Each structure stands twice: as structure tokens, then as C-alpha cells.
């Protein structure tokens, strides 16, 4: 019997409508970012100044890191609502370890605590089998509560002689960018490679796309989820260090609610909340978009009371576009 | 079923293009009221696409539809239902967590002052059961039902919606032999009552026996429509493939004398499965037959560690599996092609290439990184040898036709070069030519010394493929039959002494 393999090659879709829609879905959000950048460049003379751009990236760093962590969790099919509580708790412990030892040891401790908390969150979600939304919501209350317990509700500062070193993440560094920005760029680049190029990344997508098929392909679904939460925990700790370094202190109510902004940034960037799809670069584009809006309000001298309204509308718009473009390609 | 008459349907110049690839081209088709119209063609020929256009699930890019001479737009399944057309899709579209009753009347529950009135729904369902001769418990959740019964629920739903045209996409692919006969009988009955049936199937004899007319699609074009009574299976295959081909099943090669036992299992127990023993030697193909609910799939799952047996051992090369998990089984050289592509087999949103590579990732890595060139060539080679027809290996696997998805699933496990291959329904949804190809593949693997265990609802396939057939009944082995046994004997064993009447 001979049935020749007939590999049909895609016909060159000369400006084909559906192909265009396909591209739009993939890169539409980048176009939106470019349009806003151009609009701001044209309507203000302050936007394209080095000072503003440095500032903009510095501001993106925190949400960008959290959004990258959130993206990894979402791709694997879980939500991490502990992000901001983990951020606070690890920053606080970092400061306190720093007081007892040395600033650098303290910062390392913060990162380790972030990973550990991620491990605990992940284990709770995997072992209990409850929906990650509920599981991490409860866990985040525990972490936030522990942060209050550890600080007794007070603000914690590094030792006075170490205060300057503690502010190191705000220092200018390569290309005049802040150290926080450099750290953010490096971490995100590493995560992007991990997700796109490693066997772990492949498994992450598979688990989020179809957990049962992944399990039957020999993938340890639970450990993939725990690892995703640990990465998210490290991202939270790093974001916490940036905030603490900027403020020169840490406290239990730090960054409350930013876990939702982070998820919003991921979704605005085009990562599907259904899991199995998405990319780290999308988290960054989403974080930049949300930050740009705030920046634009400042530069244009608009009343910032409308900022949240606009951000909310943007999120709705992004999600609606995503749905619409998906429908179009049916 | 419905007092109203079925409309005559005229399809004119219908076409559909996906990202630059034409999958349907200039289709002209007339469907007369009350006929059974068969639709056949190779995997990816465009059968499902055409049905989805009729059922409003997707929109055509070109052409028109007319019902009773009146041009209509069918923009959504809702529109289609309003015109009396109901589509029973290849993938199934029930709400798993709802009861049979709720699924049958999904979104069209009878209500009184805003409250759902279950009583009148129950009465309507009882009437429909009477007409169709199905026996289903209205209160059972549909995800607890065997696939064959789930399908009956879909048919009941079509009828409940007053469908006068029912389009069925490979309804018999998931059914056991006797269930198929029941369905075909029902199709005849519905047609006699004036309902139009459009039937897609890869079982040509079946289509020929039930259809009035048959349309052949090839590469998105309509090749011909003809009377079933004037067509032979051989002719049909010729039209489908575009040339004469041989569709005889190959014989499995002799098992060499003294071939070692590779897979052995003793006293497997869990749920339905109640004490299964089996032994498979290198180069041997063991078939497992039985009715739906006899524990065939469950046995395979226990062998693979997809479920953990409560009792019993599984040995590979004489060594008991340390743990009953897919990972441990895979490490020992076992692979399993599962029953359901969508639920257990594939990650639908990911690409064809990623899916095929998934179970053998660690074989092609440099440190933590995927060796992409190695992966590309491995996936390319295996796709060619099982003949996956995909416009682009980077496209999501959900855009492949059903049969091509099945081949991809197969390819994924072959890439691991297993010692033991467990296959649940090897050719579900695969076209005639590709089916022979898969049979050649399986017998070829056996010739290379693999131990193969195969479950299939298609008894002819199972007998053609296997050296031995083990028959299960209520989770227990009731007999083992050598090659050359007739289907009747195996079926009788599967049913117990008296046939019919006592199935799942
Ligand atoms: N959403 C989609 N995007 C891109 N291509 C698609 C999409 N859906 C289907 N196709 C392509 O259209 C072609 C026809 O698919 P279709 O499902 O109609 O085939 P079929 O005749 O039903 O095959 P099978 O017998 O395997 O079910 C295939 O090549 C398939 O890959
Ligand atoms: Mg199909």
C-alpha cells in the first residue's frame, strides 16, 4: 500500500484577511504600545527625555517583575494571589536579617524567603487540591498576617549606618538606568529564556493546557506547579527589595493589591487566563502599558483621579480585543 | 419526529479558507428532505468543516445556503437550530457536570413564570426515549456515562430541539459494534419519519448500507455525489484517495519461537477490573475485546499506571514496576496511546510539534534546554512516517482534522521508542487509507520486537491485528482466542452465553 506523504505547504496568504487578523492577535498589543509612545512623544516635550525614560523603566520594574511571575503561574494554569503578601513578608525579613548581619546577606535572605513562601503556597495548592484562586487567597491572608506579627505592625528600617547601602537599587548604573531596572531586565530575560527554550518551559505550557494529558505524558504536574509558585515568589521578593530600597524601609501593608495589577498586566499583554498560552514578553508589554498611562497623566497634567478609570477601560479593551480576534480566526 | 417537514437544502459555491489555506472550495450540494446523505473523504478533506458551516459553528467565506429555495444566513448554532438543523460534532458538546435531563433540554428548559419546570421536561424526555428506544437514566451526570450513551444524549438533544436535519460527524467512531447497529437502525427510523440525516463516517460499508446518496470530498473539493446503491466500497476509496489503492489489513508477523515475555500482569484489581492476568511476548500483539464497561480501557490504564491498582503486579522484562505511575511505566519502556485525544491525549492549544515532542523531551536536551534542531528533525521524521498532514507543524494541534490529531498522538508515543505499546482505539477517526497505514505501523513495530496490547471496539480490526484476543466481561477475563477466530465467537464471549439484552 502506498499513500504518499502529502505535506501541504501553506499557500502564500497575500494580504489575506484572516492571516492579518492572526498577526493582529499576536502583536496587536505591541502596536497599541507603540501608538501610545508616539502620541506621548508628539504631545509633550518631556516624554522623550532621558530623565523621564529612566524614571518610566524604574517604575515598570516592580509591576513588571510581579507580572512575569504571574504569567508563569497563569501559563501553568494557576493564579498566585499571594504575590504582594509574599513581597511584603520577604522584604521585611530581608530588612531584619540585614539588621542582624549585613545588607547583602539580608537581601539574599529576602530572595530565599520569597522562594520558600512560593514553595509553601505551591505545596498547599497542590496537596489540598483546592482551586488555586481560593487556595492562594487564603494563603496570602496568612502571609500578610505573619508580616504584621513579625513587625508588630511597625515600619522596619535597616541600621542607620547601612541605610545608604540599602538604597542601592535606586542608584544609577549601566546606561544611566537604575540598578532596579537592570535587575528587572536581567531577571525577565532569564525567565523569558526559561519559558521559551527549556524543557521546563515546555512542561509548563503542557500542564496549563491540559493537566491530564501532561500527567499521562510522564510530567509531574504537582512539581511543575510548585516550581511556578517558587519563581513567582522570587519575583515578588525582588520586587519587594526594590520597593524597600526606594522607601528605605519595609512594612506589613506594602504593595497591597498589586497582585491584581500584575495579573492585569499579564492579561493586557495577551496571556490567556485559561492557561497553556502566553509569554513573558507579554507581561512586560502589559506592565509598560499600565505604567505609561500613569506617566502620561503626569506629563499631560491630567487629573490623576481618572487614571484608574482609564486603566480599567484599557484592561477591558485588551480582553475584548483578544476575544474578538480569536473569534475572527475561527 | 416533528410535525414540520424537513427543508431541502441547497449549498452553492461554499468555500472556507484558514490563514491562507483553502480547506473547502466551491462546494455545490443538494440535500433532499428525508434522505440519509453520506459524506466521506480522507482525513482533512473538509467534512467536518462543511458540517460546521451547515450547523452555524463557523461561517463560510464564500457561497450561499438555501432552505426550500430561500437563501438564508446561518451565522450561529442558534440560527441553525431555528432553521431546524442540529449538528452533533466530532468532539461532543455536552456539559459534563449536568444531568442527562438538563443536557437534553440545555438552554431550552420548559419554564413557568421564569422557573424551570422539570416535570414537563421529564415527560418530554420519556416520550423521546420511547421513540428512540434508548434507555438512559435522566438524572445521571453525563460525564459518568460511557461515550456511547453520551452520544445518545446528544441525539436526544437534537430531537428535543425539533431538529428536522441532523448532521452527525463520525457518530459511530466511538461506538461498540452492537451500539453501531442500534444507531444505524435509529438513523433509518428517523429518516423514514421524514428527518434528514447527514452522516460523516470512515466506515464505508456502514455508510453504504444506510445512506441513500453519498458525497465524496477530496482536498476540500466535491468529487462526486452518487446513489449508494450504485457504488462499491472500492470505488468510494478510489474517489477519496484519487487513485486505486489496496486497503487490505496486513497480517502480523509470526512471533519468533522462544521470544521472551516482556509484559506480564497478575491479579490486577481496581474498580471494574477484577483480577486480570496477562502476558505478552516480544513481537506479539494481544488484543483485548469486551463490551463498553467490561474494563478494557481500565485494564490498559492500570498497566500504564494512569490509575493505581488496588491489588496486583505489573512486570516489564520480569521486573515489577516500582511505582504505579505513568512516569515509572514510561521509564520501564511502556507507552500508552489513550482513548480520548481531547481529554487525555493532546494539549489542544499547543502546536503539533510541541505535542508530538512532549513525552520524549528529556531525550533531546542539552542541560535544561530543548535541542531545537534535533527536535525539529525527530518530529519531522516521525510525522512523515505516520503521515500527519498539517499545513504547519507550528499551528495549534486543534486546527488539525480529527484523524490527523490521532496520528499525531501515535507519533508522540512512537518517538519514545517504547518496548511495550498499549493502544486504546488505535484508529479512532482515521480514514481508510491511513487506517491500513497504522495497521502496517503496528505490525511493523511488533516485527521489531515490541510487545503490543491493543483495545478496539471494532472487532474486525482487533481480530485482523492481534495474535491472540483476550475477552473481558465485567472486568474479568472470560476467554482467550487464537488468530483466526470468527467475530461471532468473540462477540458471544463478550456478551456471556446469551447474546444481546445484557449489555452495559
Ligand atoms: N480552525 C482551523 N484553523 C486552521 N485550519 C483548520 C481549522 N479547522 C480545520 N482546519 C483544517 O481544515 C482542513 C479540513 O479539516 P476538517 O476537520 O474539515 O477535516 P475532516 O474531513 O473532518 O477530517 P477528519 O476525517 O480527520 O475528521 C484540515 O486540513 C484542517 O487542518
Ligand atoms: Mg472531521
What was the ipTM of the complex prediction?
Answer: 0.87
E strand spans, B333-447: 334-337, 365-366, 369-370, 420-424
- The confidence score (pLDDT) of residue B110 equals 59
Ordered domains of chain B (ranges, CATH): 9-241 (3.40.50.300), 260-333+418-504 (3.40.50.300), 347-416 (no CATH)
Q: Which of B19, B22, B384 sits opposite A5 (nearest CB)?
A: B384
- The confidence score (pLDDT) of residue B207 equals 93
Min Cα–Cα distance to chain A from B335, Å? 9
- Examine the pLDDT at B115 and tell me if it is beyond 50: yes
- Examine the pLDDT at A13 and tell me if it is beyond 70: no
Arithmetic mean of pLDDT, B422-433? 88
- The confidence score (pLDDT) of residue B502 equals 37
Beta carbons of B210 and B201 less than 8 angstroms apart: no
- Asked if the Cβ–Cβ distance from A216 to B241 is below 8 Å, we say no
Q: Between these two residues, A242 and B141, which has the higher pLDDT value? A: A242
| A71-98 b/e (C-beta count within 10 Å ≥ 16 → b) | bbbbbbbbbbbbbbbbbbbbbbbbbbbb
- Examine the pLDDT at A130 and tell me if it is beyond 60: yes
Arithmetic mean of pLDDT, B123-149? 85
| B169-207 b/e (C-beta count within 10 Å ≥ 16 → b) | bbbbbbbbbbbbebbbebbeebbeeebbbbbbbbbbebb
Would you call A161 exposed, middle or buried from its count of C-beta atoms within 10 A (0-12, 13-18, 19+)?
exposed
- Does any ligand 1 atom lie closer than 6 A to the CB of residue B433? no
- Asked if the Cβ–Cβ distance from B349 to A277 is below 8 Å, we say yes
* Per-residue pLDDT reduced to its tens digit, A142-171: 999 999 999 999 999 999 888 889 888 888
Q: Between these two residues, B333 and B494, which has the higher pLDDT value? A: B333
List the Cα angle B169/B170/B175 in 5-degree steps: 135
- Examine the pLDDT at B152 and tell me if it is beyond 60: yes
- The DSSP call for residue B251 is P
- The confidence score (pLDDT) of residue B369 equals 96
Q: Which of A8, A219, A274 sits opposite B391 (nearest CB)?
A: A8
What is the length of chain A?
A: 330
Share of chain B above pLDDT 70, in %: 94
- Asked if the Cβ–Cβ distance from A18 to B392 is below 8 Å, we say no
- The confidence score (pLDDT) of residue B107 equals 65
pLDDT bucket at B242, cuts 50 / 70 / 90: confident
- Examine the pLDDT at A14 and tell me if it is beyond 60: no
* Per-residue pLDDT reduced to its tens digit, A192-245: 999 999 999 999 999 999 999 999 999 999 999 999 999 999 999 999 999 999
Residue A217 sits in which domain range?
Answer: 3-328
- Examine the pLDDT at B129 and tell me if it is beyond 50: yes
Q: Which of A1, A14, A329 sits opposite B246 (nearest CB)?
A: A1
- The confidence score (pLDDT) of residue A316 equals 82
Number of structural domains (chain A) is 1
- Examine the pLDDT at B199 and tell me if it is beyond 50: yes
- The confidence score (pLDDT) of residue A303 equals 81
Identify the CATH number of the domain in which residue A167 sits: 1.10.3470
Q: Between these two residues, A183 and B237, which has the higher pLDDT value? A: A183
What is the length of chain B?
A: 504
Atom 22, ligand 1: residue with shortest CA distance: B48
Arithmetic mean of pLDDT, B161-188? 87
Copy the grid coordinates of residue A248: 528605605
* A325 touching B (Cβ < 8 Å): no
How much distance in Å is there from the Cα of B397 to the middle of ligand 2? 13
Atom 29, ligand 1: residue with shortest CA distance: B44
Which of A82, A89, A57 shows the shortest CA–CA distance to A232?
A: A82
- Asked if the Cβ–Cβ distance from A199 to B350 is below 8 Å, we say no
- Examine the pLDDT at B176 and tell me if it is beyond 90: no
How much distance in Å is there from the Cα of B399 to the middle of ligand 1? 6
Arithmetic mean of pLDDT, A289-314? 84
CA distance A231 to B356: 27
Beta carbons of A240 and A91 less than 8 angstroms apart: yes
CA distance A129 to A132: 8
What is the value of pTM for the model shown? Answer: 0.86
* Per-residue pLDDT reduced to its tens digit, B263-280: 999 999 998 899 999 999
DSSP string, B126-165: HHHHHHHT----TTSBGGGS-HHHHHHHHHHHHHHTT-SE
- The confidence score (pLDDT) of residue A81 equals 97
Copy the grid coordinates of residue A59: 517604575
Amino acid at each position: 500500500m502506498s499513500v504518499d506523504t502529502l505535506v501541504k505547504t501553506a499557500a502564500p496568504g497575500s494580504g489575506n484577511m484572516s492571516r492579518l487578523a492572526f498577526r493582529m492577535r499576536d502583536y496587536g498589543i505591541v502596536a497599541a504600545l507603540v501608538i501610545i509612545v508616539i502620541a506621548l512623544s508628539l504631545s509633550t516635550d518631556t516624554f522623550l527625555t532621558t530623565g523621564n525614560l529612566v524614571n518610566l523603566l524604574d517604575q515598570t520594574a516592580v509591576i513588571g517583575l510581579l507580572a512575569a511571575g504571574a504569567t508563569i503561574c497563569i501559563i501553568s494554569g494557576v493564579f498566585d494571589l499571594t504575590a504582594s503578601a509574599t513581597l511584603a513578608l520577604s522584604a521585611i525579613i530581608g530588612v531584619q536579617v540585614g539588621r542582624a548581619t549585613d545588607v547583602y546577606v539580608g537581601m539574599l535572605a529576602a530572595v530565599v524567603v520569597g522562594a520558600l513562601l512560593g514553595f509553601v503556597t505551591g505545596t498547599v495548592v497542590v496537596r489540598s487540591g483546592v482551586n488555586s484562586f481560593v487556595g492562594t487567597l487564603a494563603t496570602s491572608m496568612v502571609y500578610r498576617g505573619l508580616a504584621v506579627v513579625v513587625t508588630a505592625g511597625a515600619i522596619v528600617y535597616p541600621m542607620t549606618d547601612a541605610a545608604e547601602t540599602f538604597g542601592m537599587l535606586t542608584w544609577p548604573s549601566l546606561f544611566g538606568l537604575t540598578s532596579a531596572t537592570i535587575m528587572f531586565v536581567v531577571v525577565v530575560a532569564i525567565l523569558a529564556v526559561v519559558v521559551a527554550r527549556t524543557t521546563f518551559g515546555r512542561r509548563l505550557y503542557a500542564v496549563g493546557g491540559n493537566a491530564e494529558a501532561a500527567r499521562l505524558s510522564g510530567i509531574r504536574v504537582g512539581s511543575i506547579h510548585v516550581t511556578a509558585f517558587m519563581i513567582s515568589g522570587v519575583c515578588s521578593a525582588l520586587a519587594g527589595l526594590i520597593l524597600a530600597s526606594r522607601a528605605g524601609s519595609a512594612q506589613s501593608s506594602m504593595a497591597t493589591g498589586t497582585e491584581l495589577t500584575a495579573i492585569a498586566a499579564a492579561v493586557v499583554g495577551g496571556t490567556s487566563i485559561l492557561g497553556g498560552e502566553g509569554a513573558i514578553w507579554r507581561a512586560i508589554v502589559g506592565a509598560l502599558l499600565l505604567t505609561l498611562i500613569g506617566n502620561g497623566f503626569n506629563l499631560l497634567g491630567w487629573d490623576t483621579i481618572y487614571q484608574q478609570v482609564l486603566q480599567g477601560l484599557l484592561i477591558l479593551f485588551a480582553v475584548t480585543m483578544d476575544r474578538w480576534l480569536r473569534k475572527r480566526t475561527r | 419526529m416533528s410535525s414540520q417537514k424537513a427543508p431541502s437544502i441547497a449549498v452553492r459555491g461554499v468555500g472556507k479558507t484558514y490563514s491562507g489555506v483553502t480547506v473547502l472550495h466551491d462546494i455545490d450540494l443538494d440535500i433532499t428532505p428525508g434522505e440519509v446523505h453520506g459524506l466521506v473523504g480522507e482525513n482533512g478533506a473538509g467534512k467536518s468543516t462543511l458540517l460546521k458551516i451547515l450547523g452555524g459553528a463557523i461561517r463560510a467565506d464564500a457561497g450561499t445556503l438555501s432552505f426550500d429555495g430561500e437563501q438564508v444566513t446561518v451565522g450561529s448554532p442558534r440560527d441553525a437550530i431555528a432553521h431546524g438543523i442540529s449538528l452533533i460534532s466530532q468532539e461532543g458538546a455536552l456539559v459534563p457536570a449536568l444531568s442527562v435531563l438538563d443536557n437534553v433540554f440545555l438552554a431550552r428548559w420548559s419554564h413557568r413564570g421564569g422557573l424551570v419546570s422539570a416535570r414537563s421536561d421529564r415527560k418530554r424526555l420519556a416520550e423521546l426515549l420511547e421513540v428512540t428506544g434508548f434507555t438512559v437514566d435522566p438524572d445521571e451526570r453525563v460525564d459518568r456515562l460511557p461515550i456511547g450513551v453520551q452520544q445518545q444524549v446528544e441525539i436526544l438533544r437534537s430531537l428535543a430541539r425539533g431538529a428536522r436535519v441532523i448532521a452527525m460527524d463520525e457518530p459511530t467512531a466511538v461506538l461498540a459494534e452492537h451500539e453501531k447497529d442500534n444507531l444505524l437502525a435509529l438513523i433509518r427510523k428517523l429518516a423514514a419519519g421524514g428527518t434528514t440525516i447527514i452522516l460523516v463516517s470512515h466506515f464505508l460499508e456502514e455508510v453504504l448500507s444506510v445512506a441513500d446518496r453519498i458525497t465524496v470530498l477530496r482536498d476540500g473539493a466535491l468529487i462526486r455525489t452518487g446513489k449508494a446503491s450504485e457504488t462499491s466500497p472500492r470505488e468510494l476509496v478510489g474517489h477519496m484517495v484519487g487513485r486505486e489503492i489496496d486497503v487490505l489489513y496486513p497480517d502480523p508477523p509470526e512471533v519468533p519461537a522462544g521470544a521472551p515475555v516482556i509484559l506480564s500482569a497478575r491479579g490486577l484489581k481496581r474498580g471494574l477490573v477484577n483480577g486480570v492476568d496477562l502476558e505478552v511476548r516480544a513481537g506479539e500483539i494481544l488484543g483485548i475485546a469486551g463490551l463498553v464497561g467490561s474494563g478494557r480501557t481500565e485494564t490498559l490504564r492500570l498497566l500504564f499506571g494512569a490509575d493505581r491498582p488496588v491489588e496486583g503486579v505489573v512486570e516489564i522484562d520480569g521486573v515489577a514496576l516500582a511505582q504505579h505511575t505513568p512516569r515509572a511505566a514510561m521509564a520501564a519502556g511502556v507507552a500508552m496511546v489513550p482513548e480520548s485525544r481531547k481529554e487525555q491525549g493532546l494539549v489542544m492549544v499547543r502546536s503539533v510539534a510541541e505535542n508530538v515532542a512532549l513525552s520524549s523531551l528529556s531525550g533531546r536536551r542539552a542541560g535544561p534546554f530543548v535541542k531545537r534542531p534535533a527536535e525539529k528533525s525527530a518530529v519531522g521524521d516521525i510525522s512523515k512516517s505516520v503521515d500527519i498532514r498539517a499545513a504547519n507543524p507550528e499551528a495549534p494541534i486543534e486546527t488539525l482534522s480529527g484523524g490527523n490529531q490521532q496520528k499525531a498522538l501515535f507519533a508522540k508515543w512512537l518517538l519514545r521508542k517504547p518496548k511495550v505499546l498499549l493502544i486504546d482505539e488505535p484508529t479512532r477517526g482515521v480514514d481508510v487509507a491511513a487506517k491500513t497505514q497504522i495497521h502496517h505501523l503496528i505490525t511493523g513495530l511488533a516485527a521489531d520486537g515490541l510487545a503490543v496490547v491493543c483495545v478496539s471496539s471494532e472487532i474486525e480490526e482487533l481480530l485482523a491485528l492481534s495474535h491472540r484476543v483476550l475477552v473481558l466481561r465485567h472486568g474479568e477475563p472470560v476467554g482467550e482466542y487464537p488468530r483466526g477466530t470468527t467475530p461471532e465467537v468473540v462477540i458471544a464471549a463478550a456478551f456471556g452465553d446469551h447474546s444481546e439484552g445484557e449489555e452495559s
